[in-house]
Structure 1
Amino acid sequence: MEIVSKIPLKAIGLKIICKEEELGVEMPKLWRLFKERIEEVSNRSNLNVIDICLERKGQNYTQFICCEVDSLEEIPEGMEGIIIPEQRYVYFEHEGNEVDIWKSFGAMEKWAIDNGYYIHSSEFKMDFSLSEFNGAHKLYLKID
């Protein structure tokens, strides 16, 4: 694990807000819909797909499934565009089962705290994977 700064990025995708206990049902639906519509995003800058926890407020999570783009000029209907500013993160590359990614984020949080870093209060997290969602995942956990 290491601390990195990630340059600003623009992304287009689909967003939901739901309670923690609903994530197990709602996120697979959002992934299916995004996979069906990903080709509508015409100005992708790479083949990465990003799963972002934009924030947590109480039990409500704002999740965003998206891809990185060169500009926000052409946003398909029903999708949203966002700009993520340059920020500092704990970075880790997760290898293995996607089901265990939450364990990697937990280890990242523990590592950050053990090394004197503060996890951002919004619980902002990003998971970058390649287009078909298999293989390595590049995980980012925002710190203050």
Structure 2
Amino acid sequence: MGIPVTFNGIKEITEKKLVGYRVVCSDITGYGQEIPKASLLLEQRKGEIMHLVEPVHLIGAFKVTELSDEDNGYWVCYEVNEFEMIPEGMVCLMVPTQKYAVLHFKGHASQIYHVYTHLHEWINENGYKRLPEEWSLEIYSKWTETEDIVYLCDPIL
């Protein structure tokens, strides 16, 4: 496939307190347009968010299998040390400590969907079980229109 990926193995990621926007689309194709819009708006309003964790990383959170309407969507957020005075129009989300299979990807966001195939294959080949009803995380260290540097974190048992 030629997509540059590096497996980072298994990591326990501690609880994350996230503040940002929840994006909900009626079909999956809408997310490709709405998530970038939400991320740009979040970047513009970053100064309104209290208690940001430094360095600031854009974090996407979602559940592959939504068990309720509250789980539906994709959260575009920044991590905070504590929730206080959430800016108008934003939401907060608590992601509990979880064990993840982690893959590092450098490329364009449009390729991320295909990269998950590599991650899922690695999980199966190494004897782990995916937990699609738990929070998946995408932790960006760089987010631009031409290139992203992201850690894809798929919850496992």
Name the TM-score class by shorter chain.
0.7 to 0.9
- 1:1-144 alignment runs, 5 A limit: 1=7, 2-18=9-25, 19-46=27-54, 47-57=56-66, 61-122=72-133, 124-130=135-141, 132-133=143-144, 135-144=148-157
Structure 1 gap segments, 5+ residues each? none
TM-score, structure 1 as length reference = 0.85
TM-score, structure 2 as length reference = 0.78
Structure 2 gap segments, 5+ residues each? 1-6
Check the 8 A contact 1:45/1:68 in 2, yes or no: yes
How many residues align? The count is: 143
Q: Secondary structure at the match of 2:73?
A: strand
AA of the residue aligned to 1:25: Q
State the Cα deviation string for residues 89-124 of structure 1 (Å, max 9, x = none). Answer: 101111233332223222111110122212113373
Check the 8 A contact 2:32/2:110 in 1, yes or no: no
Q: Secondary structure at the match of 2:51?
A: coil
Instruction: Quote the Cα distance in structure 1 between the aligned partners of 2:23 and 2:137.
Output: 15
Instruction: Quote the Cα distance in structure 2 between the aligned partners of 1:131 and 1:9.
Output: 19
AA of the residue aligned to 1:21: T
Alignment RMSD: 2.3
Instruction: Quote the Cα distance in structure 2 between the aligned partners of 1:139 and 1:16.
Output: 19
AA of the residue aligned to 2:35: M
